[in-house]
Amino acid sequence: MTTQTTTPESPSTPNPGTPEGLVPIPPAIGRALATGGGALTIVSAFLAWTWTSAFPGDLTVYGYPGGLQVLVLIGGVLTTLFGLASYGVKGLGWLVPAGATSALRLAALGTFATAWYTILAITFQLGGIVNLEPGGYIVAIATLGALLGALALPFERPEPDTADPEDTPRERLVLDARNNIAVIKAAFASGTPTPARKLPAYAEILIIVAVLGLALTVFTYGIGTEYDELFLGFLLTTGFGFAAVAKAGLVSRISAITAKHRNVTLLGAFLAAAAFPFTQSDDQYATIGVYILIFATVALGLNIVVGLAGLLDLGYVAFLGVGAYTAAMVSGSPSSPFDIHLPFWLSALLGAAVAMIFGVLIGAPTLRLRGDYLAIVTLGFGEIFRIGVLNMDGTSGPDITNGSNGISSIPNLNILGFDFGQAHSFGGFTIARFANYFLLMLLITLIVVIVFRRSSDSRIGRAWIAIREDETAALAMGINGFRVKLIAFALGAALAGLAGTVQAHVTYTVTPEQYQFAHVVPPNSAFLLAAVVLGGMGTISGPLVGAALLYLIPAKLQFLGDYQLLAFGLTLVLLMRFRPEGLIPNRRRQLEFHEDAEAPTVLSKTGV
């Protein structure tokens, strides 16, 4: 076996057996070029890139970055930090537990992509390269140099295994020991930092608070991008930035901290999300926020069926429709055939109960099927529901749902005298209608998260995972597979129905077209399944992040017109190619896709 060694005293000088970089530049020069290019990129963000304010963001100001310059500035900071960490600068080792080279390469690539996208956009929109100011030339040269320098560095070992909240304390100890040994070996071999010392509990909690604050800032910035060029730059910066941080091993380290303080993380995430409406001056982006929460809550319910129990459900959006129609019928709407106006808590329970009944009725005769057969049956159920409510118009069937017109004029909620349709002021902040519903939906999302967490940690949750992994083996161990799957189906349907009761009041009208298998605007069954798979099956945060991305990206890509779904599909293909386990996977699923994710054994002169 060919060994790869580098003496600790000269980490930048590889031995003959070390893998070469993609660019034929000595690694020492490449590291200096990448780090210096990142620093020069930071400087260029404070210079003017064009002479006219006709390009969005006003990139004509000296000393104050604006628009896309801010994103390039962030990329330059990441590139510089990872470049300094590759030199072993004291204090930066905690940021790169898996090594800095791969992270530096991705950060430089992301900064280059955002900067050159901006330069090309200025050139084409304003009519030529003559519209560039000195800052534009400098950032183009700096980011290109940083990228070439980063590509000249040799490749490193894979990142360590991530912590999984499902692991037992013994499994976590074994995982930590294995990762620490691997990192120590790599430190002797390539000069990367050794594991950082254990932090006190209060420091770990402060890190969680900082991460949640950063997540709120990134989400608020992304949802509030004012023009198309800025949103595309935001996607480039966040995508490559997240990949760089993950390659550095920082995501794994933070995941271990959040798994250790799960209750603090859950509470902090809820408070950070609750602060979002207070960062908005009107309902423009709070509208998107409440729809994202509805989409995310339903996706989390589907995660029980798909992620935990391993049941492929292609008609899950029908349960959202059952809850919405149930709430609409008992909300006092003039279009409802029933002259009933129940309080919200009762209509919410009724919507969840009716959806659960439908889940049992559909699951009882079909859950003895497996795989593709079950998927086809659930797909048929989704279409049967849509066609059924479409035909209940008094002509083709009984007059219950008003057919294609749906149930309209659904009144706003009024809970204990609090009218969700009116603006309210709290401590100097005014929140309008959609912000009110955002906070209500956030509370329901919290309930669903708790249900998911308690269910996955329970005995029935372990049975779901056993069924998902190997149903035959689970049956041989005495698990009643049909009963376990039926419980998952019913619980997932109830959670979707609960979210549907809020959706009915938010949208004012429920119609059959809202609950198709595939539709340009989510939620629909295809997007819900994609949110679970893209975010990370079997996790809590995965479907929430996946749903947010799958709702936000199409909403911001409307300027592409007919090419919107093409661009969106290509994005999904690339994500599944380079991260098939999802954005935030659990360790078991990650190992299924990366069986070689174990850190390789590296021999050094010291024999470690």
Residue type, 333: S
Residues 224 and 158 in one domain: yes
Angle at 391 between CA 390 and CA 393, to 5 degrees: 95
What's the pLDDT score for residue 327? 92
CA–CA separation, 392 and 400 (whole Å): 6
CA–CA separation, 199 and 557 (whole Å): 42
- pLDDT of 548 over the 70 cut: yes
Residues 122 and 173 in one domain: yes
Residues 361 and 462 in one domain: yes
DSSP state of 355: H
Whether 502 is covered by a domain: the verdict is yes
CA–CA separation, 316 and 184 (whole Å): 47
Domain housing 402: 282-553
- pLDDT of 525 over the 90 cut: no
Whether 272 is covered by a domain: the verdict is no
- pLDDT of 532 over the 50 cut: yes
Nearest to 234 by CA among 35, 46, 75, 44: 75
The mean pLDDT value for 288-301 works out to 90
CA–CA separation, 220 and 398 (whole Å): 46
Residues 321 and 173 in one domain: no
Whether 244 is covered by a domain: the verdict is yes
Nearest to 314 by CA among 545, 518, 461, 456: 518
* Strand residue runs (E) in 11-61: none
Residues 234 and 288 in one domain: no
| Per-residue model confidence as pLDDT tens digits over 59-102 | 998 999 988 999 999 999 999 999 999 888 877 888 888 888 88
Residues 39 and 114 in one domain: yes
What's the pLDDT score for residue 163? 52
CATH number at residue 340: 1.10.3470
> Can you give the pTM of this predicted structure?
0.79
Count of other CB atoms within 10 angstroms of residue 396: 11
* Strand residue runs (E) in 229-376: none
Whether 239 is covered by a domain: the verdict is yes
Q: Is 585 helix (H, G, I), strand (E, B) or coil?
A: coil
Residues 249 and 288 in one domain: no
Whether 207 is covered by a domain: the verdict is yes
- pLDDT of 218 over the 70 cut: yes
Q: Final residue of a domain: which of 244, 259, 274?
A: 259
Chain mean position to CA 26: 38
- pLDDT of 595 over the 60 cut: no
Residue type, 453: R
Under a CB-based contact definition with an 8 Å cutoff, are residues 570 and 154 in contact? Answer: no
Q: Final residue of a domain: which of 513, 534, 553?
A: 553
SS3 content of the chain, % helix, strand, coil (to 5): 65, 5, 30
For 371-389, what is the HEC assignment? Answer: HHHHHHHHHHHHHHHHHHH
- In total, how many domains does the chain have? 2
Residues 292 and 373 in one domain: yes
CA–CA separation, 282 and 294 (whole Å): 20
| Per-residue model confidence as pLDDT tens digits over 144-196 | 999 999 999 886 554 444 555 555 555 555 555 555 555 444 443 343 444 55
Q: CA torsion, points 131, 137, 139, 143, in degrees to nearest 10?
A: 120
Residue 415's φ and ψ, nearest 5 degrees, are: -110, 115
What's the pLDDT score for residue 601? 34
| Per-residue model confidence as pLDDT tens digits over 105-145 | 999 999 999 999 999 999 999 888 989 999 999 999 999 99
Inter-CA distances, 243 with 105, 239, 416, 439, 575, Å: 10, 6, 46, 31, 11
Residues 193 and 330 in one domain: no
Whether 22 is covered by a domain: the verdict is no
Whether 232 is covered by a domain: the verdict is yes
Q: Is 574 helix (H, G, I), strand (E, B) or coil?
A: helix
Residues 66 and 166 in one domain: yes
Q: Which residue has the tokens 């619980």?
A: 491
- Pairing mode, if any, of strands 418-419 and 429-431? unpaired
Under a CB-based contact definition with an 8 Å cutoff, are residues 415 and 501 in contact? Answer: no
Q: 238 is written with which tokens? A: 């966040």
Q: Final residue of a domain: which of 533, 553, 573?
A: 553
Q: In the structure, what pLDDT confidence band is assigned to residue 551 with cuts at 50, 70 and 90?
A: confident
Q: Which residue has the tokens 């003559």?
A: 130
- pLDDT of 527 over the 70 cut: yes
Residues 317 and 375 in one domain: yes
Whether 608 is covered by a domain: the verdict is no
What's the pLDDT score for residue 98? 84
| Per-residue model confidence as pLDDT tens digits over 254-263 | 888 888 888 8
Residues 95 and 50 in one domain: yes
Residue 35's φ and ψ, nearest 5 degrees, are: -65, -45
Under a CB-based contact definition with an 8 Å cutoff, are residues 445 and 495 in contact? Answer: no
The mean pLDDT value for 571-584 works out to 78
